[in-house]
Structure 1
């Protein structure tokens, strides 16, 4: 911005100024404080435009066109923000490159880990599928067995949703639970008797 300003003042100093239009004489005479003068004609931007076009004929002091210390500081900060030095730009590019490489490596590592797990995941999926299939098969066989037992017990085919059938199933499940409990107890007793029999056989020999 301040570079453009310097260029404008330099050019106008070497090119003959245009004649100031009659409608601008009032401003040159100091009538800028009048209420009739538009606000946009009272700005420094407008003064620069007039001086750039009409030069000294505009009656504007070129020294007033320069930015003050605060404006210059703001312009320099803006210039650094939008057009940083080459060293800063290179550091920014390097930082962004490192960040992109880190993300890429993390993504590749994740993909490799998932690929390594893939055989086990496939094996687990197949095992689960076999177990579900076997469970459905067992349920179907059990249902057919219960229906056959109900037909044999009552002499006719029963609706598996009927209360009588469900009551029979409940009784059978209780009986099977008792049998499993009894078999577990017998197995435990046989295991406890086995060491005693072995020790007595060793002592007799």
Structure 2
């Protein structure tokens, strides 16, 4: 501890130590090189200067003649458009040349062959077509919404029909099972092979009976049609006076002698 005190007094005696105010003022009067050094130390990204300026949208340093010669005209135009006259780029050299203007005109002719009025009319026509398509779609939707209740009713009727058919099939199945039980006995197990065979036989007989009934009905319809074609019903033929040939409307009765 005594050594530290001695060194402090020695340092002060030699005039090497500065007061606190002098050290603060000295920090304020730093040179630009020191400020740049401090900024470099603060920058922890380790990016190059132009990359750092590009990311933070800061004004870059003015280009040297070599850099300006090496930089493309497109990049210089972009730089001037971002920073303006502060970029230090001569505006006169950024104007397109005659060759570039001719090339731009040719590109415009190919890319946009229509005039402004033609483009406006095309846009209007496209918009009208789109509106008509939307209107047509809206009308179709309204028609479908109007038919929605009918479709719902059809679906409900179809479901009810399916349920009714399923119920009828179930009742027929139960009836067949009851008939088989009456034949083989009520104590027989439905899983028994004899029960299954008898049930299958019953189903075959029922299908055969239905088929025979359909065949008989078809034969009856055919016989009736042939009878009508062979013996058509006579239609009375009327004469000019409006009376039929059978003497309808006359005072002479059929079968009486004609004088």
Superposition TM-score, scaled by structure 1 size:
0.54
Match in the other structure for 2:155: 125
Please, which of 185, 198, 203 is the counterpart of residue 173 of structure 1? 203
On the 8 A contact 1:150/1:165 being kept in 2, the answer is yes
- The size of the alignment, in residue pairs, is 158
Where do residues 77-92 of structure 1 align in structure 2 (5 Å cutoff)? Answer: 87=117, 90-91=120-121
Q: Cα–Cα, structure 1 residues 157 and 42, in superposed 2: closer, same or farther, change >3 Å?
A: same
1:8-63 Cα deviation digits (max 9, x unpaired):
xxxxxxxxxxxxx9x95xx3xxxxxxxxx3376544464996xx5699xx9x795x
Gaps of 5+ in 2: 1-61, 235-259
1:160-191 Cα deviation digits (max 9, x unpaired):
45433321122112222332344345445655
Match in the other structure for 2:166: 136
More helix by share: 1
Match in the other structure for 1:148: 178
Measured on the aligned residues, the alpha-carbon RMSD in Å equals: 4.5
Match in the other structure for 2:97: 68
Determine if the alignment matches structure 1 residue 97 to structure 2 residue 122: no
SS in 2 for 1:94: helix
Which of 1 and 2 has greater Rg?
2
Q: Cα–Cα, structure 1 residues 158 and 97, in superposed 2: closer, same or farther, change >3 Å?
A: farther
Deviates more, 1:39-48 or 1:138-147: 39-48
Q: Cα–Cα, structure 1 residues 156 and 72, in superposed 2: closer, same or farther, change >3 Å?
A: same
Higher relative contact order (CA 8 A, sep 6+): 1
Gaps of 5+ in 1: 1-20, 28-36
Match in the other structure for 1:30: none
Determine if the alignment matches structure 1 residue 38 to structure 2 residue 38: no
Q: Hey, what's the Cα distance between the residues in 2 that align with 1:96 and 1:185?
A: 65
Q: Cα–Cα, structure 1 residues 117 and 61, in superposed 2: closer, same or farther, change >3 Å?
A: closer
On the 8 A contact 2:177/2:199 being kept in 1, the answer is no
TM superposition shift of 1:142: 1.5
On the 8 A contact 2:184/2:195 being kept in 1, the answer is no
